[in-house]
Amino acid sequence: MVGVEFLVVVELLRGNLVLRKVLPLHGWLLTSGHTETGYEVDLYSEGVDVRFKNLINNLGFNVVKKYDGIRDYAELKGIIKHDEEGFVVRFTNGQRMKIKGDEYLRLHKLMTNVSTTSVWEMLSEGKDVLEILKDVPDEFYKKIKMYVQDLRYNHYQFGEQAGKIYHYFRYGKYGDRDPEPTKKEFALHLQECDTHPKIKTLCFLMWDGKSTDKVIWNYLKPEYKKL
């Protein structure tokens, strides 16, 4: 509300998190109407009240750029740049609609769909999560990167712990055990050492020459939580 004469519609921004724009808090003036008559002020006309223009400038609002003559939706969508969110379309009846760019929608979908389980799933499938998310904002990227590092480190810890037990028992400290022990002896050793069941499972997989990767990722499956 500007005084009691005008109602203004402003979009306040502190940058655009989806498009990696971090700026001081500012506003874009979309429209303004007279509070009594409902008449919408033509912000682009030379006849706009000078007092109103000065007030808008003093408040630090920027009037959005106006595009005339574009009536084709596809044409309008096609001129949205990769680093722009999109357009606000005004119809002749005064109603408005936002048209957003493909890149903005792609990044927005990425950001809104990322969760603990989606990151875990991509890692468990061998996908490079950080490469997929390379275009998202730095603040968001850093948060995901830390979570990815935690999961990878926990995965490494499982394999490291099981590997030390397995290799030390089967081959000795210097890899020179002769003759090699049997799997039965290994099982008794794990039982005597009260080895954790999950580590025990990994040790037997190693003994049989099988991969432990999927099993460890299954151990690490988190509860669903938005990131």
Q: Residue 195 corresponds to which amino acid?
A: T
Tell me 8's DSSP state. Answer: E
pLDDT of residue 55: 67
Percent of the chain with pLDDT over 70: 70
| pLDDT one-digit tens code per residue, 24-63 | 334 454 555 555 665 666 666 666 666 666 666 676 666 6
pLDDT, average across residues 103-130: 84
Q: What angle do CA 61, 64, 70 make, to 5 degrees?
A: 170
Residue 19 pLDDT: 43
* Interval 7-32: pLDDT, tens: 555 554 444 444 444 333 344 545 55
**Which of the four pLDDT bands, split at 50, 70 and 90, describes residue 101?**
confident
Residue 68's SS3 state is coil
Beta bridge partners, 88, equal 98
Q: Considering the chain, what is the average pLDDT of its residues? A: 77
pLDDT at 194 over 90: yes
Q: Is the pLDDT of residue 213 over 80?
A: yes
Which range is least confidently modeled, 11-15, 200-204, 222-226?
Answer: 11-15
Question: What distance lies between CA 20 and its chain's CA centroid?
Answer: 12
Q: How far apart are CA 101 and CA 83, in angstroms?
A: 9
Percent of the chain with pLDDT over 90: 32
- Apex 165 CA angle, 162 and 170, nearest 5: 120
